[in-house]
Amino acid sequence: MNIIILRLGHRPERDQRVTTHVGLTARAMGAGGMLLASNDKGVIHSLNEVVQRWGGNFFARSVDSWKQEVHNWKEVGGRVVHLTMYGQNLPDVMDDISKEENLMVVVGAQKVPPDIYQIADWNVAVGSQPHSEIAALAVFLDRVNAARGTEPLTKEFPGGKLKIVPHEQGKVVKEV
């Protein structure tokens, strides 16, 4: 399954930390990349630096037109899930979504453009209460992977300079 994230509504003056964490969470939980619908070289640079250091094939890039990206994605058969607390609750649509091979997962910042509700194939709530795009994305990726019998927490990230050796106490990191 190939999953990419589309981050909408990022405001460089206040969302840098949260958007970086959206990207880090996406990478750690098995997504292939993140498209950022804003121009923020700092966030893109931080995420690509993490990939260089810790490995894997995750990409992060800014896009000029998120609608064009969605159009291109759908044209080659990809489907679009918009995470929103107003949508259908995840357990009710999980069977359909987890059958898909290529998913674009859209998360907002403060407010999303209203047309995303029509453009998305599914508007999906990770529980029908307000919380956070980072939490919503983590739970979504974990549940979709579980439904497909894959375990993102044991995924390998080849090609990095550093690798954590899990340890009972302290921090053990080896250079590879």
- Interface residues toward ligand SAM, by CB under 6 A: 83-85, 107-112, 125-127, 129-133, 136
Hey, is 95 helix, strand or coil? Answer: helix
Nearer to ligand SAM, 115 or 168 (CB): 115
CB 106 within 8 A of CB 112: yes
CA distance 69 to 82: 14
Nearest to 80 by CA among 105, 54, 101, 55: 105
Q: Provide, rounded to whole angstroms, the least separation between the CB of residue 165 and ligand SAM.
A: 34
CB 124 within 8 A of CB 82: yes
Q: Provide, rounded to whole angstroms, the least separation between the CB of residue 14 and ligand SAM.
A: 12
* Axis-axis angle for helices 133-147, 16-28 (nearest 10): 10
Amino acid making up residue 77? G
Q: Provide, rounded to whole angstroms, the least separation between the CB of residue 154 and ligand SAM.
A: 26
Nearer to ligand SAM, 42 or 113 (CB): 113
Residue nearest to ligand SAM as judged by C-beta position: 108
Nearer to ligand SAM, 132 or 150 (CB): 132
Nearer to ligand SAM, 1 or 85 (CB): 85
Q: Provide, rounded to whole angstroms, the least separation between the CB of residue 67 and ligand SAM.
A: 17
- Can you read off the two tokens belonging to residue 43? 């966030």
